[in-house]
Amino acid sequence: MPEKTARDTLKLATSAYWLWAESCFVIWSRSWMIISGAPGSQAEAQRMVLEKVQAGNELMWQAMTGGLGTGLLAAQKSVDQLGRKVSANRRRLAKKI
């Protein structure tokens, strides 16, 4: 079992790294849009806040109902779920910049 735990830990670390890296781009992109007054920047700012609330609520609900599991599995599911949303934002914002 220690081998599986090490593999799971490495997978979680790698997923978390990519979530961080893509998040940095999304934050920079949104900041640039808002600071420069680019078209759609107001809508982007509202979307940003709404996404955070929705993501937090989704994860909270899953945690409360046992949908995330426990330990490394819960962490991996959380990072994966957030990562999909951040990746979609990165792809969408990359087209605007």
pLDDT tens, 17-71?
A: 999 999 999 999 999 999 999 999 999 999 999 999 999 999 999 999 999 998 9
| Residue 1: pLDDT band with limits 50, 70, 90 | low
pLDDT in tens, 63-93: 999 999 989 999 999 999 999 999 999 999 9
**Minimal CA–CA distance to 15: which of 64, 67, 69, 86?**
86
**Minimal CA–CA distance to 97: which of 28, 48, 50?**
28
Backbone angles phi, psi at 52, to 5 degrees: -65, -45
Q: How far apart are the two ends of the chain, measured CA to CA in Å?
A: 46
Backbone angles phi, psi at 67, to 5 degrees: -70, -15
